[in-house]
A = this chain, B = another copy of it.
Amino acid sequence: MNDLNIISESLYQLLITINRQVLNPHEMMKTFPVPPSHARVLFYLHHSGVSSISEIATNLGISKPNMTPIIDNLLKRDLVVRYTDTSDRRILRIKLTDKAYELFAQKKELIKEMLINKISNLSDEDLTELDDSIVKTAKIISKLKEEKDTKKGVSK
């Protein structure tokens, strides 16, 4: 029988350490050519695929009226396309463009370069152990369920 309290403490410390020493989310968001809320919408679409405006708003905790200028801005920058759902003409579907996918690929490479730079001073022994423990951690964490509202339309 495991002590969940101890494991959650370890996990908490890991999260703190990562944010301080590896990748600060705020710094990462700032590398995107759009404001933070807009970048969050892009991340959401990158992960979830085509989504309605309400679905994005609910899952990201952004107010619906605020979505209009955000999507307008992303449209202007050719990062998303917007089209009406044929079966329910109230709903607008938002989809990332190829340009957006390219942007994500570029950012990923930049982040990886930064990570390489950070870990390059570790000993070979540490690197081997790090790779092993990272893969194990990620594998188990990916089993955790992700809570998300996947309804097409979304009530309050």
Where the two chains meet, the residues of A that have a C-beta atom closer than 8 Å to any C-beta of B are 1-2, 4-15, 17-23, 25-27, 30, 40, 47, 61, 108, 111-113, 115-116, 118-122, 124, 126-138, 140-146
- Cα-based distance from A136 to B126 in the complex (angstroms): 10
Other-chain residue from B2, B133, B146 in contact with A133 (beta carbon distance below 8 A): B133
Chain B nearest CB from A109 CB (Å) reads 10
How many identical subunits does the complex contain? 2
| Chain B residue, CB-CB nearest to A43 | B19
B-side contacts of A140, CB under 8 Å = 122, 126, 129-130, 133
Chain B residues within 8 Å of A141, by CB: 14, 17-18, 21-22, 130
